[in-house]
Amino acid sequence: MIKNPSPNALVVEGGAMRGIFASGVLDAFIEHDYRPFDFAIGVSAGATNLLAYLASQHGRSHDIMTKLARSPRFMDPLRFAKGGNLVDIHWLWRTSCRQYPLDLHTLRASAIPFYAVVTNTLTGGAQYIRVKPENMHEVLPASCAIPLVSRDYPQVAGIPMTDGGVADSIPVIEAYRRGARQITVILSEPLGYRLKPMPFPWMIRTLLKARPALAKALARRDRRYNEALDFIANPPDDCQIAVIAPADYFPVSRFTRNLSKLEVGYLMGKCAGYQVVRLN
């Protein structure tokens, strides 16, 4: 139970490789032991970034993105053309855990409860699952499994799940619902960005005809995303929201593998994180 009369939450958006920005912000927080949060919610790459932050493992997310996520073992268009996954989330998770082991002692000792967002493929709804060392091997790959790009659906407690960004890309409203009245949001897109409706919805319905609730969730993703942006821009009177977002010239896209661009994106995140620390 949150006892702080004005709970402070940290919300971290995903965005695949654009998550390199949040990794820089959170590494800046680690360097200054900046942890004023009562709980945290992350989505997809935002959730894995939070995992490193709460384990106090500076540089872990950066190394995973700049080394492992650039490997053809992770992203392979030819494999996708032959009927496999464009991205192999399970390989990336297993390899990152082996090459960059998590500090489970520090993670367990963290005073900040951490929730990852997943999308239930049977209902199309968002689920917010408390992440612990005991369940992270199920929950984190599920939160990152982009539908269609990843053809399989990782199971959490026996339920097929997919990327939390489908149902709730920026869970700021959920943070407010859970009692947060001070919210820091790390975005992966510049301020002013609006998500456009998905093109060719009929094609999505066809490709996901076995999972109609998921197809419907994808079709309304832009509305849910933009509702979160509207909430951030005009929060309730009893809520203060601080936004950390990349500049318009942020050079990283969802599937960027160019190392120089990724390093620039990471440094932009660190600079933004340092600015937050200085102001607080």
**Active-site pick, 23, 27, 38, 44:** 44
Rounded to the nearest angstrom, the gap between the alpha carbon of residue 173 and the centroid of all alpha carbons in its chain is 15
Residue with token string 């109609």: 212
Assess contact for 21 and 188: CB atoms under 8 A. Answer: yes
Q: Which two tokens stand for residue 266?
A: 């990471």
Is residue 44 annotated as a catalytic residue, yes or no?
yes
Assess contact for 91 and 76: CB atoms under 8 A. Answer: no
> What's the Cα-to-Cα distance from 4 to each of 80, 103, 152, 179, 239, rounded to whole Å?
48, 27, 41, 10, 14
What whole-number distance in Å separates Cα of residue 263 and Cα of residue 265? 5
**Active-site pick, 27, 88, 163, 168:** 163
Is residue 6 annotated as a catalytic residue, yes or no?
no
Please name the residues in contact with 225: beta carbons below 8 A apart, sequence gap of 6 or more. Answer: 169, 170, 195
DSSP, collapsed to helix, strand or coil, labels residue 40 as strand
Assess contact for 280 and 34: CB atoms under 8 A. Answer: yes
Catalytic residue IDs? 44, 163
